């Protein structure tokens, strides 16, 4: 096996970009939307 560390860096950075993006977007969803979504879900289940 001929491990090429810089190739890992190339594709690792590409993957890291998506991971960072998902973490940022996930944090926005959890912080800014989740409280409202949970409240709405609770209200809907109460009505049922």
Partner 1 sequence: MNITLTIFIAVLAAYVIVAAGLTRFIKNRDDFYVMGEQGSTLLLTGTLAATFLSAVTLMGIAGISYSEGPLVIGALGSFGAWLGTLIAVVWIGRKMKAMECRTMMDFFDRRFNNKWVSVVALILMVIGLLGYGIIQLIGAGLVLAEIIDVPFPVIIIAFTFALMVFCSLSGMYGVVYTDTMMFFTMLAIAFVISPMLIGQAGMENLRGLSDSLPGYWTLAGANDRALSWSISQFLVWILFFACTPALVSRVFPAKNDFVILKVAVIGVFFAPAMQLMVYLAAGAMQVIQPGIEPADRAMIVGFMDHTNPVLAGVGLAGLMASIMSTASTLFVLTGFALARDLYEKLFEKKLDEKRSVLAGRISQVIVSIIVCVIAIARPAGIYWISIYAGSIFAVAWLPTIVAAMKWRRASAPAVLACMLVGSISFITLGELERHELISYPAGIDNLMMAFALGTITLIVMCLAFKPSGYEIERFEEMKGQRMSEITIGRFLDADSTGATLIREYRRVWMALIAMLVVAGGLWGYLFVQLGL
Q: State the first-to-last Cα distance of the chain, in angstroms, to the nearest integer.
A: 61
Q: Whole-number minimum distance, CB 45 to partner 1, in Å?
A: 12
Q: Which two tokens stand for residue 28?
A: 């926005």
What residue ranges in 1-48 does DSSP mark as E strands?
none
Give CA–CA dist 37/23, Å, rounded. Answer: 19
| Minimal distance, residue 32 CB to partner 1, in Å | 4
> Which residues form the interface with partner 1 (CB under 8 A)?
1-4, 6-22, 24-26, 28-29, 32-33, 36-37, 40-41, 43-44
Closest approach, Cβ 8 to partner 1, in A, equals 5
């Amino acid at each position: 096996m001929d491990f090429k560390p810089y190739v890992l860096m190339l594709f690792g950075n590409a993957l890291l970009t998506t991971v960072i993006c998902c973490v940022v977007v996930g944090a926005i969803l959890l912080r800014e939307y989740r409280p409202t979504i949970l409240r709405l879900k609770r209200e809907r289940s109460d009505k049922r």
